[in-house]
Chains A and B, each alone.
Chain A
C-alpha cells in the first residue's frame, strides 16, 4: 500500500474516533437532561451485574464488526415511556422496515445518523418491556424501540420530515377486543420525531430537544 493511502486511512480512523467521541458526548448530555426531570425513572440498560432485567434493553456497539451501532435511553413517567435512540449505523436494510424513512429523508441507509425520540403509550403499563432475549428477537426488539414500523396501523403515508411529529398506533387487539398474545408488552400508540444527530449541536439545542420530548403528547 502506498504511503499516501496509509495516511488517508489513518485520517479516516482519526476522524471516526473523534466523531464517535462527539456522538457519545451528545448522547450523554441528552441522558443528563432527561434524568433531570424529577418524575422520570430511567430504565437501567443491561449489564450482567444488574439484577433488574425486567425492562432491560441494550445499546448495540457492534460497529467494528460491521453490524449495529445504536444507543438507547428510555424510562417512565406516569405509566408513559419516554426516550430516544441514536441510530448511527445499521446493517444494510434496503428492503426492510427502515427503508421508508431512510429513503424519504435521503439518509445513508447504513449510517442514518438520526435521533428518534418519542413518547409511547403501553398496552399494559405493568407489563411493558424492552426485552431482548437473544438473536431471534433482535428485529422485534429493534422495531419496538424505534417505533416506526410497518406494523403500525396508522403508519404515516405522508412524506417524512425531520422534526415533524409522527402519530402512530399498533393493532394490538383481536377482532373480539382481546389483546393479541405477546402484545401486552408493547405499545398501542406513540408520538415520535426524527432529527439528524448533527442538529444536536449545542447544550442549548440538546436541552430544547429533551424539553420537546417531555412535552410530546399522544
Chain B
C-alpha cells in the first residue's frame, strides 16, 4: 500500500487517516514488536502544560510494548462502542501502562451528544478505555489549541505530538541502525517524508561566511536574514547578465 500511495496509484486514499495509521503502525510492528514506539512518542507535549513532555511525566522510554491493537472496540457508558485508532499496553518491572493514540491529519476531533451534553472524542476515548494517557498524533501544529474544552478535564492525561516530530525522532533512530531494521524504519520515514511530514526549522544560512561589515539589520523577512546580497563583496569585474 505504501508503494502504491507514493507512486500516486491510490490518490483517493490521500487523506485517509486509517490508511496512514495502518501503513505506519503495520511496519513498526515488524521491528521487535514496536520496540521504538516509546521513543517515537516520548516528545509529545501535554496540552495543558506544553513544557511537560510525555517522557518527563511518564518516563516512557523505559517501557516495553507488550500489546498493540488497531481500532479495538470498547463498550461505552452511553450505549455505543468507541474505537480509538491505536490501543497500546506497555510494561516494565513495576508498571503496566495503557495508552491510546488517536491519529489525525487535520480534521478536528469528532463530537457526540450524550444526554444533550456535548462530549469530545478524546474525552470519550479516555472514559471508554480507562487509558492512563492519550497521545494525539496529528499533522497540525494547531491541533492542541483547537481541542474541545471538555478535554481539559482530562488535560493531564492528553499529550500532543506532530507527525513531523515523530519522523524526526525516527530519523535519529535510523542513523544508529543497520540491516533489515534500518530498511524497515527507513521505509516508514520515507513514507512520512512523502506525506510532507518532515521538519522545517529555518532557512539554512550557516554556510554563508559573511563578514560583519557586510551584514545589515534586516531583510524583508525574519531576523536571521542578517545579510544583504547586494553588499557581498565579490571583486568580480563586469556584470552578470542573463542569456537572452
Contacts and interface: CB of A to CB of B under 8 A. Distances in A.
Interface of A: 2, 4-5, 8-9, 11-12, 14-15, 18-19, 21-22, 25-26, 28-29, 31-33, 35-38, 65-67, 105-107, 113, 162, 196-199, 201-204, 206-208, 211
A198 B242 contact: no
Interface of B: 14-15, 105-107, 139-142, 162, 164, 195-204, 207-209, 219-222, 224-225, 232, 234-236, 241-244
A18 B201 contact: no
Contact of A38 (B107, B202, B209, B234): B107
Contacts, number: 96
A49 B14 CA distance: 21
Contacts of A196: 219-221
Contact of A201 (B14, B162, B209, B221): B221
Given A36-B105, A199-B221, A201-B222, A19 B242 contact: no
Contacts of A66: 241-244
A174 B76 CA distance: 63
Given A29-B196, A36-B140, 4 more contacts: A4-B235, A11-B209, A12-B234, A203-B200
B236 A9 contact: yes
Given A36-B106, A65-B242, A201 B203 contact: yes
Max chain B CB contacts within 10 Å: which of A4, A8, A18, A203? A203
A211 B142 contact: yes
A35 B220 CA distance: 28
A28 B232 CA distance: 29
A15 B227 CA distance: 12
A54 to B, nearest CB: 17
Contacts of A208: 142
28 contacts: A2-B235, A4-B235, A5-B235, A5-B236, A8-B234, A28-B196, A31-B196, A36-B105, A38-B106, A65-B243, A66-B244, A67-B242, A106-B220, A107-B220, A162-B220, A197-B221, A198-B219, A201-B202, A201-B221, A201-B224, A202-B200, A203-B141, A203-B164, A203-B199, A204-B141, A206-B200, A207-B140, A207-B141
B139 A36 contact: yes
Nearest to B142: A207
B243 A37 contact: no
A198 B15 contact: no
A162 B219 CA distance: 13
A215 to B, nearest CB: 12
